[in-house]
Structure 1
Amino acid sequence: MSHLSQNKAKLLARVRRLKGQMEAIERKLEDDAHCGEVLNLVASVRGAISGLTAELIEDHLREHVSNPDKDEDPARAQGAAELIDVIRTYLK
């Protein structure tokens, strides 16, 4: 079983929320909404995409590179934990 399958419902829920946000942007554009409203919606989508990206990268790192909670090599575990922190910070 793929590690993505384990979180499938959660990931699909996030993607569906993103889809709803994108549809809201489309509606605003069709309705000739004020540009500030559209920009705020776009910023929200960007944040949501960044959060999803960070989660997928972290899951990939834990599954295929090194899981800091399980790695027996303390240096590699620390490096993986540090990289996860950097990814979370960078993609905030």
Structure 2
Amino acid sequence: MDSKATDMVVNNKAAGSLGIGILTIIGLFLFKEGSLLSIVGLLLGVISLKETKKYKEKGRSLGLIGIVCNLIGFIGFVILFNINSIIGSFQ
């Protein structure tokens, strides 16, 4: 394999984690849901960080940003769920 070809390899799990993180944030605002997706995205992000370090692949920043986006989506869902529960208990 050519060395230029190996330099261009980006970890697919990192890109997937970022994509899922973006979908989770969008789902949080549009559908008030995204907890399951964010857990899958977090797992993909953590796995991608380990793989990028082990195999010297590119995409570490994608994995980190994906983890952050998925954390925002998950924490936002938890906060939104608790607020809805509190408001629902007063009615």
Structure 1 length as normaliser, TM-score? 0.51
What 5-or-longer segments of structure 1 have no aligned partner? 1-9, 73-92
- Residue 32 in structure 1 maps to residue 47 in structure 2: no
Identity of aligned residues (%): 7
User: Structure 2 vs 1, CA of residues 43 and 13 (structure 1 numbering), >3 Å: closer, same or farther?
Assistant: closer
Q: CA RMSD in A?
A: 2.4
Work out the CA distance in 1 between the residues paired with 2:53 and 2:62: 13
Q: List alignment gaps of at least 5 residues for structure 2.
A: 1-33
CA–CA distance in structure 2, aligned partners of residues 63 and 50 of structure 1: 20
Q: Does the 8 A contact of 2:41 with 2:66 survive in 1?
A: no
Higher relative contact order (CA 8 A, sep 6+): 2
Q: TM-score, normalised by structure 2?
A: 0.51
Aligned length, in residue pairs? 58
**Residue aligned with 1:23, SS:** helix
Question: Which of residues 69, 76, 79 is equivalent to 1:57?
Answer: 79
